[in-house]
Structure 1
């Protein structure tokens, strides 16, 4: 798949078949994540791959609106920032870097023919603390989001979100 095609076909998937995602596919997603740029090359991210139902259930607890959908998701990648490795600690450059890594996961999943969904955690303090506690994360490891990964069960087309009214040249 061409890069632009993957970008334009990416969509948030909320319906999965339950079919497994291979270790090789997960490895490709993680390599794509780590290919994202980071502030001054800090590589201030950590990834926690969740496959066990009891661990995915921990994510369901803080995302009740997505609980049913997560029943059939075979993998959730928890994208976390490492504040000790972040540029200009304690400023949140890690959140920008982890966002870039997350977008690469989403695009790589599309390229592999997989569905994905960004599950927001940070900056919601309650969610952030709940996930840190649920997975016994060190204080300096901050969960930005989870990314649900699986085989898409719906056939909805990706919406065209381009809006020329949002584009300005030289001034607003």
Structure 2
């Protein structure tokens, strides 16, 4: 198995983190991975990121998204709609960035969790208010929590392949 296959096959949703700081260098690598994602059009990628390490802010965010509570760092993915090329497809661009970030976390020996924000209007409004976003042109998409997995939450292979879900030529 190649390193890339191992990363894809062992990535899990990590919901509990060890009490250990994530380096700024690793956070930057995760952000760079997000920015390498494919977008609807080169130069029109809508993603922007808010890195959250302050414990008070993380606790406020955990009131909206409880899985943030044990994370040493959270990254809010914000869609800048003005920069999106296809205004109706920004969530696809943001999803690609989010997955790249989660895969890079595994590559670095970390764990991550995709905490959905969009398209739930109430959650989007609460997150937008907490981070002073206008929620019209700067829309909160998701929160990626990052950290060292707590015991019992390690990234590990789980075979999810199901041949019955594959269809050829028509459904």
TM > 0.5: yes
The CA distance in 1 between the partners of 2:4 and 2:105, in whole Å, is 12
Structure 2 distance, partners of 1:25, 1:39, is 27
Aligned residues: 166
Asked if 1:33 corresponds to 2:30, the answer is: no
For residues 130 and 142 of structure 1, the distance between their equivalents in structure 2, rounded to whole angstroms, comes to 11
Pair 1:118 & 2:120 matched: no
Aligned-residue offset at 1:95 = 0.8
Q: Could you say what the CA RMSD is over the residues aligned between the two structures, in angstroms?
A: 1.4
| Structure 1, unpaired ranges of 5+ | none
Q: TM-score, normalised by structure 1?
A: 0.91
Q: Which moved more, 1:147-156 or 1:159-168?
A: 147-156
Which is richer in helix? 1
Aligned partners of 1:58 and 1:82: how far apart in 2?
23
Specify every segment of 5 or more residues in structure 2 that has no aligned partner in the other structure, as ranges.
Answer: none
Q: SS where residue 91 of structure 2 aligns?
A: helix
Q: Deviations over 1:85-119 (max 9, x none)?
A: 11133x2x211101000000000000000010111
Contact 2:45 2:85 in 1 (8 A): no
**CA–CA separation in structure 2 for the residues paired with 1:96 and 1:146:** 15
Tell me the TM-score normalized by structure 2. 0.92
Q: Is structure 2 residue 79 aligned with structure 1 residue 81?
A: yes
